[in-house]
Chains A and B, each alone.
Chain A
Amino acid sequence: MAAEDLPEARAALSLLRSRLCNSSFYFKPPSDSSDSNYSKLKFIISSSVTEACNNSILLLGPRGSGKMAVLELVLQDLLLEYPDMITVIRLSGLLHCDDNGAFKEIARQLCSEYQLLFSKMASFDDNSQFMVAMLRECGLAHKTIVFVLDEFDLFAQGKQRLLYSLLDAMQSVSSQAIVIGISCRLDADQLLEKRVRSRFSHRKLLFLPPCKENVERLLEHILSLPIDSDLPHDYIIKFNAKLHNMLANERFKKVISTYLDSDSTVKQFVRYLFCAISKLNLKSGLLTVENFEHALSDTQRQPKQEYIKDCSILELYILVCMKRLEVKEQNSYNFNSVMKEYKSIHDSFRTSDYYSRSVCLRAFEHLLQRELICFADNRGHNQSIEFRPAKLLITAHELHHGLKAYRSCPSILQKLMN
């Protein structure tokens, strides 16, 4: 331990990590450009708050493109702008996709918002009547209720009673509410029943992955240290200079574009940056291109290849036997037929790796555990393992590739593959 960890590097690391875990930081629009989703959404919601009308809108886009984060930013701003005029009710399809639970949750949140007494025993009817009454009351008091429905597509399962009663209640003039659905299914509005769809305004906002320039801006925005922080000044200068150097580096650009080729939503990208940041060398306290290269291989793993690499020689034999059976177009096979093939290989090639049946069965079980192979059907639980039909979960190509990468793989196996 010659060099000690730099305290300022540790502080910088903490700062960067908290930035990466805070979605409102990196989804905050750089400037108030008029065509960003942020400003569009803000305009829609604020106009319906000021004009006291009902509205409904869908935010669509792939997972991790910042739908919720942008909405949270907008709601935060509007709550400051119009205090005491907005009530936000948050539901998630993952948690409240049954109608009963959803109404209960709405009632609970309304009660806690207006300091009313919430009864756990209230029935479905009670809760839905309470919601309609609250909508009317709030409308008369010129207060807007914003319903945020995360995982909107899950609410569209079943009878859609929640959606119907929500949207139906909004048809009356007295109510004043906004329903915001968030979904990563682009066809979310097609899932709605006719009676629900006719009451829904088909306004959609699409969230797209960032373009290349935006990614670069994002990188700089996230990674550069602020000048006015309490870190030592010369360290900040050094860190930022090194960062700018790196951002201009061709090798670095290539790494980033390799990553973006596979997945390009902001959150995935942030996850990748998190991996890279965590590799920051605390002794020098500076980011290097190697950090990003290592993170690339760490986040883009190939589990099947890794598991093949970890197989013992005997397990490889079994895999190869199964592959040979598949090539022979046997429509189904089980451990017994694998053993027959294994024995025939041994008979014709005199391999040194010939083990007893019980040992092979154990190796077979290891493969099952790793999910390189699995049983072909779920039936026959009372059959013993030997007789249940099995199948490979890896392609011949993957196996071939895995054998090539395997250290000290017996050459006979490679030959048997062809």
Chain B
Amino acid sequence: MSKEEDTKATRRTTRSSSAAVLRDSGEIKKKCGPHIPTFNDLVFGEDNISKEDLLSNFPGRHTQILELLNLLGPLNSPMLPLFVYGGTSTGKTSVILQIFRHLNRPFVYSSCRTCYSLRTLFESILNQLLLHEKDADNGYLSAKRCEKTSDFVNSLREALVKVVKTLQGNPGKIGTKKLTGQGHGHMIYLIFDNLELVRDWDKSSSILPFLFNLHEVLNMNEVGFLFISNTSPDTYYSNMGYLDPIPVYFSEYTEDDLRKIFIRNQTNQEMYSSFLSVVLGPFYRITRHVNELSIAFSSLYKTYCEASDDLNDVPNESSKRARFSRFQPHISPALNQIFKISSPPSEVNNLKEAKRKAGSKKFGGCDSSEHLDFHMSTSAKYLLLSAFLASRNPATLDASLFDSTGGSSSRKRKKRPSEKSIEQKEICEQELLMKGPGTFPLERLLAIFQCITSVAEISLEDDQGNVAMDSQNEDSELMSDVLLQLSSLCNANFVVKGGSCPLEGSTRYRSTVSEDMALKVARSIKFPLSKYMYRR
């Protein structure tokens, strides 16, 4: 009970745990003895919740819950298909599952995300209806193998008729454990979650009309259909057409709703509410997704508490103001890091840095810290830079940029910019923005890598007066595991493998590193990157 009553901030866990409850009820019983699946498994769980609990569990969702309850109607009354839609983290799935927990009626839930193809979707529905559990005895096979829609409809009808007959046959027997006569009944509801994913499946143009028309095709009054989707009904239009299901919209939360959601399950209510009054306004302008906000707030709240640690805990007006003035500088950097997912130690670093900077400097752009917040070997850094250069510079200019003098000569031929060249430059810039980094073959990358490493050694020698022997040793060391480094860069998504070139047949690569990042890396190894960058 406690898990489901969490805030919607933990919607994902709510979803998985609510699904787990379904499965758990079976599994726990199994441990104490051979579990014979019954139709009780189609109901949410043993404990149901009252309408008041349901409403209070979901602040900001009252209208939607009441509308859904109205549309689902009283016990044993048939319904038309529903189409529930709304953005992510608006509580569609959890509200519907909890409603069924409240109503205590049998349902079959299948998500098109876990059932990634038509066949798995069909089999999951049939497995649940036929009370079939995959285990070692049956070799983890499904109850029925069906790929074709026609087979599915036949077996679905068979299974549904059986289930409905059982439900009608002994309404009292199943409901014995229940508190009242409420619940069960002979309706069974099929819930399809994440329907928007079906559009990307093979043959989606025939699957979607099929799913929407399933109600008509089956023509059974005892079956209710609920479709849950991220996207609105108008994104499903197809050639075929179907009778529109009844739309139910889950809007994004308003500021007040969000405040109610975040204040739930907080130990220090007053502290948190004063925190929210500072933070929620600016963050609300950026995003309204509960899950994103909750991540941002959890770390920010810690700093807020720290900022007020030395103040006494009694919140009065003056201390509130003092706390606010201390805390305010943290907000704006946090706004710009809202979606940054960082490992805990670096997060601390960032925060400290933010603290240091906060007084002297207003925020500008993203964090412009001098040092990198990740570790990388020197050769990997060189490789990264050469990939960046290979992606950015046109291949025809490689020879002039990387000649023996280290490319500095190419910068000398500067013309006075004429009007035409400026225009051209703008067009080129536009093109760069549009096209993004170019692709390059492995050979070119290695050539550039060799060039810049040798140049780097020369410059190092100049600086430190090293002997030539050393540098040669180092050179061979740098070259030793380049391919290994490249594959790890690929894995880290700094370099992506593109499609193969149709003429040469070799794989082409593309660097995804931004210029800021590349400059930062170059600075960390004192490499004059700007010298090699071709400016149009």
Contacts and interface: CB of A to CB of B under 8 A. Distances in A.
Main secondary structure, interface of A, reads helix
A370 B289 CA distance: 12
Given A310-B251, A312-B284, A356-B365, A384 B436 contact: yes
Interface stretch (A162-170, A172-180, A295-303): A295-303
Interface in B423-470: 430, 433-437
Contact of B433 (A96, A307, A336, A358): A336
Given A96-B150, A314-B286, A353-B285, A17 B77 contact: yes
A340 B433 contact: yes
B239 to A, nearest CB: 10
B288 A369 contact: no
Contact of B340 (A21, A337, A358, A371): A358
Contact of A278 (B71, B221, B231): B71
Contacts of B287: 312, 314, 362-363, 366
Interface stretch (A74-82, A121-129, A196-204, A268-276): A268-276
A370 B286 contact: no
Interface in A92-109: 92, 94-96, 101, 105
B407 interface: no
Interface in B305-361: 335-340
Nearest to A393: B235
A17 B73 contact: yes
A226 interface: no
Given A312-B287, A355-B336, A17 B150 contact: no
B80 interface: yes
Interface string A49-61: 0000000000000
Contacts of A383: 436
Contacts of B36: none
A333 B434 contact: yes
A386 B436 contact: yes
A20 B73 CA distance: 13
Given A14-B76, A275-B71, A310-B251, A334 B434 contact: yes
A301 B247 contact: yes
B111 to A, nearest CB: 17
Interface string B133-157: 0000000000000001110010000
A224 to B, nearest CB: 18
A357 B515 CA distance: 13
Interface stretch (B4-12, B162-170, B209-217, B411-419): B209-217
B221 A310 contact: no
Contacts of A306: 232, 249, 251
A14 B217 CA distance: 23
How many of chain B's residues touch chain A, expressed as a range?
35 or more
B510 A303 contact: no
A14 B148 CA distance: 36
Contacts of A355: 286, 335-336
Given A357-B366, A369-B88, A387-B435, A17 B230 contact: no
A382 interface: yes
B241 interface: yes
B342 to A, nearest CB: 12
A105 B74 CA distance: 38
Contacts of B88: 369
A366 B286 CA distance: 11
Contact of B70 (A95, A279, A333, A359): A279
Given A301-B249, A356-B365, A64 B243 contact: yes
B496 interface: yes
Interface in B269-294: 284-289, 292
Interface in A301-341: 301, 303-304, 306-307, 309-310, 312-314, 332-334, 336-337, 340
Nearest to A64: B243
A306 B64 CA distance: 15
Nearest to B253: A310
Contacts of B365: 356-357
A313 B285 contact: yes
B289 A366 contact: yes
Given A63-B242, A382-B499, A387-B435, A359 B80 contact: no
Interface string B230-254: 1111110000011110110101100
A25 to B, nearest CB: 11
B107 interface: no
B331 to A, nearest CB: 12
Interface string A357-397: 11100110010011100000000001110110100000000
A225 B154 CA distance: 37
Contact of B206 (A94, A105, A267, A386): A94
24 contacts: A14-B73, A14-B77, A18-B77, A18-B221, A21-B79, A94-B206, A95-B217, A96-B150, A105-B150, A271-B80, A271-B246, A303-B233, A307-B87, A312-B284, A334-B436, A358-B340, A362-B287, A362-B292, A362-B338, A363-B286, A369-B230, A370-B230, A382-B497, A389-B434
- Sorted nearest first, the 3 A-B pairs with minimum C-beta distance are A303-B232, A387-B436, A21-B78
